[in-house]
Structure 1
Amino acid sequence: MRVNVNVTTEIALEEGRTYAGGLGVLEGDKFYASGELGINYLVLMLFYRNGYVDYRFSEDGSPTPVPQSQPIEFTKKLKKEDRFPIELKGGKVIVEPLSYRYKTAKTVFFNPVQPSWAVELVDQLYVEKHYEEKFYKYVLLAKAAAEYVKSRVGLSNVNKIILNEAYTALLPLVLRAPSKYIFIIHTPGPWSHPIFPTRLFEREFGFKFITDKVALTDIGLATSFKTYCVSEKHFEIMQKIVPHFAHKLSYMTNGINILRWINPRLKRLLEENVLNVDSLKKAKHQAREKLLRLIKSYKAINGEEKPIILWCRRITGYKRPFFVTRFIEEENPDAIIVVAGKAHPYDVDGLRYMQKFYQYFKEKPNVVYIHNYDVSKAKILLSGGDLLLFTPFSSLEACGTSFMKAAINSVPSLSSRDGGVLELVEDGINGWLFGRDLRQLIYFDTQERDRINEEDYREFKAKLLRILDLIANNEDKYYEVALNCVKTFMPKVDICEKMRQLVCQ
């Protein structure tokens, strides 16, 4: 059975600190699904000794970034493979592969052990001091992946090579296999389409591009035989961003690993074909109790019977955390508000919102802030809450998956009209929608953005107040929506079907 190679910058396993957010969780879902399906699946990525980032908070709530050291229990499970050299920056770098297995799936982390500058290069995920450091970090990934495929796997034994996001698109420059590459673009936002000066490519590879700067996304598009966007709307928007490669684009809407994310009691009800409003209420009560225990581990709360409203994601401007802060300040709702997530250490606005959420956490009895959000906590939150707020700026969210995880656990979402939401959520039936459906990329620092945000917020606030009233005064109708979530999402979001399509085409 030939090997399907998946190259990524991050992956969220059930242990270890090897991811930053949604991409890592998605890749983890693919990894475990491949193992369950018996797919010969090989993930290649860098090993980050100090993970991504954690935070400590001062008295005024200011967050200070600190490294995430890898748990000893995790590193003990990594099998050391034979080291090999690669050439980088005109010298030799020694790489030690560390492997982690799940059934027929295997992740190999490339751990540079010398020289010291190479060790420091991959100390943390997505944290670099300079654009040249970022460039060489991903050149290291490309060259290590190329050597591993050639010497340990054999290119003739490879079925597909899947490149996730632009940072992995350097691999085809050092491993020529044009009929094997599939490129997946996970966001339309410019932050995920890095551009580097041509001189870096000439210095490292000897290539003389005809432009002064090179976009890695263009390399991925040019060298792959197929490129996937991750929702129908994302596909439409990307055709306007890369019209010169529109003929290569198609889409496969993201999914989730249902077995990994579904509440076990809810799973049993589905398997026994006894899921109805009454049995759902009991299952949700059990999940809610588990969530309340998690909440109480952060702070004591009153009014455990109140609705639990969730906003769980990376904290950055285009995901609009200010919808939550503004709602809290204007309405002081009779609900428990749980905010979970953190910002990149260089995201000034994101850090400012972390500080604000921490201040609410300290000052407002009904607000809980979980800054150390991870997969284990996400499973509890997304199965135990009453409503998920999914608020990205329309046109900038290619296809999140938290709303899918919530839905299969009977937690409906109030969502902006973006990404895969439009293929799955029917307003008032299995969730709620607000805001404009923008089909043209609008950058997030314009006056037009401010006007759209204001319009969207008004509808968001009005619908959220109506949903809270529904939960309080028409419980049967709320549970009808919750039950519809499970029934309508389950047949459509299973990542196993998407993995079969991806590797078997």
Structure 2
Amino acid sequence: MNNETMIAYFSMEIGLSNDIPTYSGGLGVLAGDTIKSSADLEIPIVAVTLISKKGYFSQDIDSGGRQVEHSVDWDPARFMTRLPRKVKVQIEGRAVYIQAWCYKVRSIAGGEIDVFYLDTDVAENTKEDREITAVLYGGDLQYRLKQEIVLGIGGVRMLRALGFHIKKYHMNEGHASLLTLELLLLHKRDVESVWDENWIWDTDKVKDLCVFTTHTPIEAGHDRFSYDLVQKILGEIIPLKVLKRLGGEHDLNMSHLALNLSNYINGVAKKHGEVSKNLFPGYEIHAITNGVHSFTWTCESFKRLYDKYIPSWANEPELLVRSEIIPDEEVWEAHLHAKNDLVDYVKKITDIKMSPDVFTIGFARRFTSYKRADLIFFNLERFLKICEKGKIQIIYSGKAHPKDTPGKDIIRRIVEIAKTINDNVSVVFIKNYNMEIALKLISGVDIWLNTPLRPREASGTSGMKAAHNGVINFSILDGWWIEGHLEGVTGWSIGPKPVESSLIPVNDATDAEDLYYKLETIILPMYYHDRSQWIRMMKNSISKLAYYFNTNRMMRRYVTEAYLR
């Protein structure tokens, strides 16, 4: 690969496959899909992330529904090549050495992208420093800051040591924004040629080099570090008063640092762009709606179907707009194949027998309070009465962050409810959610349910994956679904129209009532009594959603709107 004028894509987590557990959820999987589409399109990108040798965590669920976390042991040498070059950064006043592993992402179209995994587990480091890149999102604020020093500052130094000449640095969320400080050091002006010491720091030059994508629509979700901690861990890499001007007066806000040193800033859906402007007034914030990598997130039965009727769809997913030509019976057959695979998998790992003939709801994502995974059980008596009119089964999966007690409580509640209603409704929780389980779920269920509190969902991508497999979305109007939703055509909404651009009071009762009404009066009757209309909506999901909400389209927009600026 030509090392000249490249794009460097920095992300704390990258999800490329089950075998490389360096991701926790949507942010990392999006990063992986971004890289895969860049390989498809032969965009000159390199990616930088952390090795996370102990992964995020492996999840177990005990008999009481409590989440139990275990470390993950995996060997990078099985999948990637360790490079001989090392760089160092200063942490707590001592040199911390960083090595890199290279993993090559190869496209079926022939493109190839290098992903560099930074690793402090080297002999030159202390035992403590060797653990910096061990656990994704592990430890306390001190541990997190050390990881972000390795990612941002260490990442830029590694790329330079490897001979790359970078035209743009793309920060996928604020975790990588310390790279801007390294760029300031690299582009510091000659002190003797200026009369104001603030002019030493060529912020305009750094801005021209940087792109920042924010994914977090609430203030509390952005990393902050006290300046006492910053000076203890990082030292005064640039004068403190300059850092405060760029990163915030009272503490170092990593998103503010990226905002102030990037010429192109974007949210990840149109609505999220509006929310971000409200959250960060005074900044020009664009919107590029996320997508998913079509070939990765299409199950085998639908791949065969698309290969038969829409040749070249894998490299040109926009061709999925032609899915109307596929015969209804073949769409349904492909869906039943995926559904039977899912039902067999559930039986194998849980010993619970589900039926492919029963209407099946899927819900799988990070378990945290705002996602409201248990909203469908808001009025359990009402829900069970609906189930008497048409059989329902539900499959859940997802992890709560080890420190997210409310998220863990929701998992426990769902497991408890499943036990109390199992004579009427089969509810299964599949533990240790990962990319393999995700593909089985998003292709094998009939409805993909999403119930976040608005406007907390920046984008969401699981529903896009479902659409690639003809699965219909039933979701709160937030994130990407505002753009993808056509009521009764591509799926159904839950709750009122999205008019707010900041956080609003919780109204579970209103949203639950709309969910129950549509489930009872529209969705179940159509599924059980109007199969032709149901298949029509499945085909609409493919032709009106999958053709557009993919990372090939997304990356073309990044190239033209962000990288070529």
Does the pair score TM above 0.5?
yes
How many angstroms does 1:330 deviate by? 4.2
Q: CA deviation at 1:118?
A: 1.5
Matched residue of 1:136: which SS? Answer: helix
The correspondence of residues 177-326 of structure 1 with structure 2, limited to 5 A, is 177-203=206-232, 204-206=234-236, 207-208=239-240, 209=244, 211-245=249-283, 247=284, 249-273=285-309, 274-297=325-348, 298-326=350-378
List alignment gaps of at least 5 residues for structure 1: none
Q: TM-score, normalised by structure 2?
A: 0.83
CA distance in structure 1 between the aligned counterparts of 2:557 and 2:163, rounded to whole angstroms:
23
Alignment-derived partner of residue 353 in structure 1: 410
The Cα of 1:394 is off from its aligned counterpart by: 1.3
Residues 30 and 328 of structure 1: CA distance in aligned 2, closer, same or farther (over 3 Å): farther
- Of 65, 68, 72, the residue aligned with 1:64 is 68
Deviations 1:26-47 (A, max 9, x none): 1111111122222232111111
Task: Please state if 1:337 is matched with 2:394.
Answer: yes
Amino acid at match of 2:329: D
> CA–CA distance in 1 between the matches of 2:499 and 2:56?
33
1:77 aligned partner: 79
CA distance in structure 2 between the aligned counterparts of 1:48 and 1:329, rounded to whole angstroms: 45
The answer to whether the aligner puts 1:387 opposite 2:447 as a matched pair is yes
Tell me the distance in 1 between the aligned counterparts of 2:549 and 2:93: 46
Q: 1:327 to 1:487 in 2, by over 3 A?
A: farther
Find out whether 1:456 has 2:511 as its counterpart.
yes
State whether residues 166 and 192 of structure 1, in contact with CA within 8 Å, keep that contact through their aligned partners in structure 2.
Answer: no
Decide whether the 8 Å contact of 1:414 with 1:464 is kept in 2: no
| Number of the residue aligned with 2:428 | 368
Correspondence list, 1:11-26, <5 A:
11-14=14-17, 15-26=19-30
2:99 aligned with 1:96: yes
Q: In structure 2, give the amino acid aligned to 1:41.
A: I
- 1:481 alignment partner AA: M
8 A contact 1:237–1:439 mirrored in 2 = no
Query: For 1:356-402, what per-residue CA distance to the aligned partner results, in whole angstroms no more than 9, with x for missing partners?
Result: 23334555541110121111111111111100101111111010011
1:181 maps to amino acid: C
Summarize the alignment of residues 100-115 of structure 1 with structure 2, pairs less than 5 Å apart. Answer: 100-103=103-106, 104-113=112-121, 114-115=125-126
Q: Per-residue displacement from partner, 1:333-372 (whole Å, max 9, x unpaired)?
A: 3211000101001111111112123334555541110121
Q: What's the counterpart of residue 172 of structure 2?
A: 164
Partner letter of residue 46 of structure 1?
A: L
CA distance in 1, matches of 2:502, 2:137: 25
Q: How many angstroms apart in 1 are the aligned matches of 2:25 and 2:42?
A: 26
Deviation at 1:423, TM superposition (A): 0.9
* Amino acid in the other structure paired with 2:228: R
Q: Residue 116 of structure 1 aligns with which residue?
A: 127
SS at match of 1:449: coil
SS in 2 for 1:368: strand
Larger radius of gyration: 2
For 1:328 and 1:378, the matched residues in 2 are separated by 27
- Match for residue 503 of structure 1? 559
- Is 1:468 the equivalent of 2:497? no
Does the aligned pair in 2 maintain the 1:79–1:99 contact within 8 Å? yes
CA gap 1:270/1:59 in 2 versus in 1, 3 angstroms? closer
Structure 1: how far apart are the matches of 2:466 and 2:24? 20
1:142 aligns to 2:152 (yes or no): yes
Between the aligned partners of 2:128 and 2:381, the Cα distance in structure 1 is 47
Task: Name the CA distance, whole Å, in 2 between partners of 1:57 and 1:382.
Answer: 22
- Looking at structure 2, the residues matched to 335 and 294 of structure 1 have their Cα atoms a distance apart, in angstroms, of 18
2:167 maps to amino acid: N
Residues 106/362 of structure 1: CA separation in 2 closer, same or farther (3 Å cut):
farther
**Do the aligned partners of 1:4 and 1:503 also contact (CA within 8 Å) in 2?**
no
Pair 1:302–1:414, CA change in 2 (3 A): closer
TM-score (ref. length: structure 1): 0.93
Gaps of 5+ in 2: 107-111, 185-205, 310-324
| Contact 2:8-2:46 at 8 Å conserved across structures | yes
Q: 3-state DSSP class of the match of 1:257? A: coil
**1:438-470: CA deviation from partner (whole Å, max 9, x where unpaired):** 444554xxxx623x2221111112112231222
Helix, strand or coil: the match of 1:372?
A: coil
Output the aligned Cα RMSD.
Answer: 1.9
Residue 495 of structure 2 is matched in structure 1 by 435
TM superposition shift of 1:491: 2.5
Name which of 18, 29, 33 aligns with 2:33.
Answer: 29
For the Cα contact (< 8 Å) 2:291–2:461, is it kept in 1?
yes
Give 1:476 shift: 1.7
SS of match in other structure, 2:230: helix
Is the Cα contact below 8 Å between 2:60 and 2:432 reproduced in 1?
A: no
Deviates more, 1:455-464 or 1:410-419: 455-464
- State the SS of the aligned residue for 2:55: coil
SS in 2 for 1:478: helix
> Contact (CA 8 Å) 1:4, 1:159: kept in 2 or not?
yes
- SS of 2:292's equivalent in the other structure is coil
Q: How far did residue 150 of structure 1 move?
A: 2.0
Counterpart of 1:42 in structure 2 is 46
User: 1:304 offset after TM fit, Å?
Assistant: 3.6
Q: Any conservation in 2 of the 1:99–1:109 contact (CA below 8 Å)?
A: yes
For the 8 Å contact 1:396–1:441, the answer to whether it is kept is no
Amino acid at match of 2:176: T
Moved more, 431-440 or 386-395: 431-440
SS in 2 for 1:503: helix
Matching residue of 1:491: 547
Instruction: Give the letter for the 1:493 counterpart.
Output: F
